[in-house]
Chains A and B, each alone.
Chain A
Amino acid sequence: MRHHLILRVVTKLLIGVIMLFALYVQFHGDYSPGGGFQAGVIMSVAFIIYSVVFSLADAQKVLPPWFVHKLMAVGLLLYALTGVYSMFAGYNYLDYDAINPEHPVSGQHNGIILIELGVGITVTAVMVTIFYAFASRTPPMDDEAW
Chain B
Amino acid sequence: MATETVVHTALTLTDQLPALQIVVPFVAAPLIVLLGGRRWAWPIAFAASLASLVIAALLLASVLDGSIISYHMGGWAPPVGIEYRVDAANAFVLLLVSAISTVVLPYARTSIAREVSERHHALFYTAYLLCFSGLMGVAITGDAFNVFVFLEISSLSTYVLIAQGAERDRRALTASYDYLIMGTIGATFFVIGIGFLYMATGTLNLADLADRIADKGDSRTIRAAFAFIVVGIGLKVAMYPVHRWLPNAYTYAPSAITAFLAATATKVAVYVLLRFVFSVFQPAFIFEVHTLEFIILPFALVAMFACSFVAVFQSDFKMMLAFSSVAQIGYILLGISFLNETGVTAAVIHLFNHGITKAALFMAVGAYVYSAGGSFYDTMQGLGRRMPLTSAAVVIAGLSLIGVPGTAGFISKWVLVQGALEKGWWPVAILIVGSSLLAVIYIWRVIEVLYLQPTPEDSRVREVPMSMLVPIWIMTLACIWFGLNTDMTMSAAQAAARGLLAGSAGMMGQ
Known A80-B23, A91-B75, A95-B75: A72·B33 in contact at CB below 8 Å: yes
Residue contact A81 to B16, C-beta cutoff 8 Å: no
Residue contact A101 to B8, C-beta cutoff 8 Å: yes
Judge if B71 is at the interface, Cβ distance under 8 Å.
yes
* Segment of A29-37, A51-59, A82-90 engaged in the interface with chain B: A82-90
Write out the residue numbers on chain A whose beta carbons fall within 8 Å of the beta carbon of B26: 80
The B361-400 residues at the A interface (CB cut-off 8 A) are: none
Cα–Cα, bound, A73→B170 (Å): 29
The A92-146 residues at the B interface (CB cut-off 8 A) are: 92-97, 101, 103-104, 141, 145-146
B31 is contacted by which of A72, A77, A89, A93 (Cβ under 8 Å)?
Answer: A77
Write out the residue numbers on chain B whose beta carbons fall within 8 Å of the beta carbon of A103: 3
Residue contact B74 to A96, C-beta cutoff 8 Å: yes
Judge if A70 is at the interface, Cβ distance under 8 Å.
yes
Q: Interface of chain A, helix or strand or loop or mixed?
A: helix
Residue contact A93 to B170, C-beta cutoff 8 Å: no
Judge if B19 is at the interface, Cβ distance under 8 Å.
yes
Residue in chain B with minimal CB distance to A101: B8
Cα–Cα, bound, A24→B34 (Å): 27
| Number of residues on chain B facing chain A (CB within 8 A) | 25
Judge if A49 is at the interface, Cβ distance under 8 Å.
no
Interface residues on A, range: 20 to 34
Residue in chain B with minimal CB distance to A78: B30
Residue contact A77 to B6, C-beta cutoff 8 Å: no
Q: Interface of chain B, helix or strand or loop or mixed?
A: helix
Closest CB of chain A to B451's CB: distance in Å?
A: 35
Write out the residue numbers on chain A whose beta carbons fall within 8 Å of the beta carbon of B23: 80, 83-84, 87, 93
Cα–Cα, bound, A81→B23 (Å): 9
Judge if B2 is at the interface, Cβ distance under 8 Å.
no
Residue contact A80 to B11, C-beta cutoff 8 Å: no
Write out the residue numbers on chain A whose beta carbons fall within 8 Å of the beta carbon of B181: none
Write out the residue numbers on chain A whose beta carbons fall within 8 Å of the beta carbon of B33: 69-70, 72-73
Judge if A74 is at the interface, Cβ distance under 8 Å.
yes
The B169-201 residues at the A interface (CB cut-off 8 A) are: 170-171
Judge if A76 is at the interface, Cβ distance under 8 Å.
yes
Closest CB of chain B to A127's CB: distance in Å?
A: 16
Residue in chain B with minimal CB distance to A111: B74
Cα–Cα, bound, A74→B36 (Å): 12
Closest CB of chain B to A68's CB: distance in Å?
A: 11
Residue contact B170 to A145, C-beta cutoff 8 Å: yes
Residue contact B74 to A92, C-beta cutoff 8 Å: yes
Closest CB of chain A to B120's CB: distance in Å?
A: 13
B74 is contacted by which of A73, A74, A93 (Cβ under 8 Å)?
Answer: A93
Residue in chain A with minimal CB distance to B33: A73
Residue in chain A with minimal CB distance to B6: A104
Residue contact A73 to B34, C-beta cutoff 8 Å: yes
Residue contact B8 to A80, C-beta cutoff 8 Å: no
Q: Can you report 24 A-B residue pairs in the complex whose CB atoms are below 8 A from each other?
A: A70-B33, A70-B36, A72-B33, A73-B31, A74-B30, A74-B34, A76-B29, A76-B30, A77-B27, A77-B34, A80-B23, A80-B26, A80-B27, A87-B11, A89-B10, A91-B8, A91-B10, A92-B19, A92-B75, A93-B16, A93-B19, A93-B73, A103-B3, A141-B170
Write the residues of chain B forming the contact surface with A, with a CB cutoff of 8 angstroms. Answer: 3, 6, 8-11, 16, 19-20, 23, 26-27, 29-31, 33-34, 36, 71-75, 170-171
Give 11 new A-B contacts, CB below 8 A, not counting A76-B29, A76-B30. Answer: A66-B36, A69-B33, A77-B34, A80-B23, A80-B26, A84-B27, A87-B11, A87-B19, A91-B75, A92-B72, A96-B74
